[in-house]
Structure formats: C-alpha cells, structure tokens
Amino acid sequence: MRRRSSAVLLVLFLISALTACVGIPTSGSVIVGQALDEEGTGDFEFLPFEPVAGASQEEILRGFVAAFTGSADDYEVARQFLSTGFSDEWNPRSNVTVRTAAERLVTIDDDSMEYAINADATVDASGVYQRNNGPEPQALSFDFVQENGEWRISQANDGIVLSDATFRQIFHTHVLYFLDPTNEHLVPDLRWFAGGTAALRIASELLDGPPEWLQGAIRTAFPEGTELAVPGVDVESGVAIIDLSTEALAAGARDRQLMQLQLAASLANVSNIRGVNFTVAGTPLVVPESAVPLPQLNAQVDARLVGLSDGEFGYVARDVTQFGQLSAKVVETQPRGATLTAGVDAAAVLGVAGVSIVQSGDAATTLLDTRPDLITPSLDGYGYVWSAARSSPGSIRAYGYGGAFVDVATGLPPNTEIVSVDVSRDGARIAIFLSTTSGPRIVVKAINRDANAAQVPVSVSLSALDANLPAGTAVDATWVDELSVATLSDVGGQSTVTRYEVGGDRASLGQPGNSVSLVGGNGVAGLRALSADGTVLARSGNGWTDTRIPVAFIATQR
C-alpha cells in the first residue's frame, strides 16, 4: 500500500518551491515489466498538483515545471497544464536539463514568458549524461493561450528541467556493457535512467547498440536488427526473461553466450534480477554453456605497488621483489617511468634515450621513440605502445613491438601540451590530460582500430568526457576504475586530485601534498601519488597518508 498521505503532506509543505525534492526509494518487488511509455514507482512517488481554476500564467508555468517530477502515466499531470492542441505534441522524454539552484521567471509579453536557468548538465533520450564545463545560462520560452477561460501552455521546449537534488532522487546510474573487438573485455557505458524503468531501459538501450562516441571501437553480440519483441521485462524467481525479435535466431552459440553475458552484466545492479534468459516469440532461446573463458569484466591489477626503488624495479614494499630478467632490462634503460603488461612479461619504458619496449626472456630491448620531450608511455592489450611528445598535441603514436608505428589522429587543438596518455584496461578508450592556455583539460575518447590489420589504432572518437579543470597546472592523470579517471593538478603550490566519471559526476579526492605523479590501482582506494620528496602517498579513508616508502617513480599496471 503506497504511503500517499505522507507524500501529499510533504508536497503541501513544499508547495512554494518550484520543484519538489523528496527522497523516494526505487526498490520494489516489480515482477512484470512495463511498456516504454510507462513509468514504475517504488514505495513513494512524487505527486505534483494539477492546475487550479483561475491560475495566472506564472502559476501555470510554475505548476508545469513542478509537475516534471511526476512521470506516471507519461507525465499525465504535467500535460494538464498544456493546451489541447499541444498536449500530445510535447515530448518530456527527449532530454533532461539539470539546473543549479538559481532560476527565475520573466514575462515577455501578454502571451509568453521565459524560464531562466543555469544548466549544469543534460541527459539525452538514451540516458547519456553530459556535464557542462560550467553552468550555462538558458532561457526557455513558453507561449500561453486561454481555453475555457483558463490559461494553458501552447508552446514549450521538449524535455524536462530538474534541480540537481531532485534529479538524483529520480534518476540513477546504470552501466551498459558492450564488447571489445576481440571479445576479451566487457566495455562499460554509463547511463542514467529514472527509477522503476531501469530493467526495461537497459535492455532496450543495449539492443540499440553502442553510443555514437563508442561506435567503431566496440561491438555487440546481438545480431543487427534485434529488438524487444514485447516491450517489457518479466522477472521470474530473480531471472529476467527477455523476449527478443526473430533476428536473435541468427546468433551462433558463442554470440548467444556473449549476448547473455552483456545483458546479465548490464542488469547486475537492478534489484530482484540475478540472471537472464532469452525467448523468441515466447519460445526459449537455448544458450549453451561456455567451454572457453568469457570476456573480462572490470579487469583488476596486482594490489602491490610497482616501481623503481634503490635502483631495483619490481613490486615495492620495504624491499623490492623483482620480475627476474625483465627487471634488470628495465633498469638498463635508466628509466623515468613505465607501464607494465598484464602478464608481467613486458614493459613500455621512458628512459634516457627515449621510449622502449622491454620484454622478458631473450627478446632484445627495442628503442621505439627518440623524439624529445616524451612523456611516460602507455600500453594496450593488442601489442601497441602509446607514446607522445609533451609539446605537440598531434604527436600521439602507437608503436608495435618491432618498431613500426602509426600516427593516431586525435583532433586535439593546437597550442596545448600533452601531460599524460593512458589507455584503459579494456583497450577501447584513452584518457588524455592536457595543459592549455586556460588551464588543465581532461578528455576521454574511444580508440578506433583497423580490424583487418591486427587491431592497429587508427584514430580516436568524439569525446565522452571533456572537462576543463577550474584552475591550476596539469600534473598527471590515471584510470581509477573502468568508469572513471583521476587528475592530479597543482593549485597555488597545493596538489589536488579530482575524480571524473565518464558519463557521470566529478568529485574531489583531496589534497595529497606536493605530488609529481598519480597512478591507479583497483578503485579509489588503490590510487597512489608520488610526493616531490620521492615517497609514496596512499589513500587513507578520505585523505592521503605518506607511506615513507621511497621510489624514483611508480609504474602503471595493466
């Protein structure tokens, strides 16, 4: 039984506010899915007020905006504020604008008003979140007409506007998972969906395929044209039953396994769902057991620190555990920075002569890049070393271990410096930290590869993340986990670490003291910084602790 009386009392208390800010749990024992034009509810729901007789234009506009919180029955209450001819035209699901606290209404003439806001972020119809580099002023226009003696809105922008606090009560993050080109890794794509519709939206959006910025860099196992045959998701004993269109029958045994993995991973944080089965026209679609390993989800690294300490390269604690012959070869390059492969069988090293690939065993060290002003190289999982010269934004190259290279088109602006380049562990995305005339800038793009030429990198995509830091000097950046990167910047002599979700929010991770580099591990707790004094700084609670472990540099692990 919904506790409507409590919700109504709270709305009455907040009637003077433009929008309500009510906490609403979104969990519940929903069994039968809903059509795309329906909205589910949890134990509580927003209950916006309908128009009242004799309301002024301003009261109608305020009521309309307040009704953006009530999505039930396809925003049925909000549509009551619209004219008869416009009510069916308005599309509230086309986008969400997330505003700051500041807002005001402006009368333009006898039949129109403007709603002035500062837009902090937007969410498109597919749930893709884009945060602005700063609040962007917007003026939304509304026209009015009288119907039966009452004012109604006859023209308005599609979409809805929510305050940041209200947005976070209604919308929640979910991760869609696609595949890297070789089916070795699951590649995440963060989306925002309203509570109560997550399972259906996840299934629908996953079937729609990769977003624009990831197209060409990843793939999906679902055959082209596959759709939901029934616009809903049934859940039986914790298993989501997904009814697919007949195109799904074209998938072979391996692709069916990957289809199930993609959807199961994407639905993993939806309450009451613990597994996924498929049907086609109501008939079960058989998914055989996998005899080979499935793609890796959120690859982890060794929790131990890797670096150069007292002239030795390896795992660093109070002593150094070396990697056998590989460690000695790295030291021979007189290293200043390095990235280690997942198999600990090779390292891309910045040494005194340039960037080299150092391999274990009998393979000779190969000097790849001798350009001046090089930064610490990165590695991907396809056998390429990523190297760049700091002073040239068009200088990013991908080297094969034999020395052949391609120049990777990035579209980065001139008059910038490349501070760091880091390929994600799934090999599908790249984080580039820049120093610009207006301050530090972090961008994340997808890596487009030539599938017919051993996954040779060709170019990078549109930016999924493009954020200007408010102040300071760019120092370093790293991947925190599969969904976020962290930047290290210097602001007035004080180092600051900021975490940026790709497709989400940013948050401060504190000030580790005067630091010169930043390296990721497994999540926020695995971040490490190198102090200007040459000791390792580690995350401790919400702050940083000096471990007093001396190193010349900290290496990145894949």
Please give the model's pTM, rounded to 2 decimal places: 0.88
Sketch out the chain's domains with CATH numbers.
4-171 (no CATH), 305-557 (2.120.10.30)
Residues 556 and 340: beta-carbon distance below 8 Å: yes
Contact 191, 128 (CB under 8 A): yes
pLDDT of residue 44: 53
Question: From residue 428, how far is each of 425, 451, 457, 497 by CA, in Å?
Answer: 8, 13, 10, 24
Task: Look up residue 535 and give its amino acid.
Answer: T
* pLDDT score recorded for residue 43: 41
pLDDT, tens only, 40-65: 334 456 889 999 999 999 999 999 99
Selection from 220, 214, 268 nearest residue 244 by Cα: 220
Low-confidence stretches of the chain (pLDDT < 70) are 1-45
Looking at residue 133, what is its pLDDT?
82
pLDDT for the residue 507 = 94
Main-chain phi, psi angles of 203, to 5 degrees: -60, -45
* CA angle at 277 for the pair 276 and 281, rounded to the nearest 5°: 140
Alpha helices, H only, 302-425: 325-332
Size of the chain, expressed as the number of residues it contains: 558
For position 196, what pLDDT does the model report?
79
> d(Cα 324, Cα 123) in Å, to the nearest integer?
50
Q: Which of 181, 163, 180, 174 is nearest to 129 (CA)?
A: 174
Q: What's the CA gap between 221 and 41, in Å, rounded? A: 32
Residue 47 to residues 18, 451, 484, Cα–Cα distance (Å): 14, 52, 35
- Name the residue with tokens 């416009």: 86
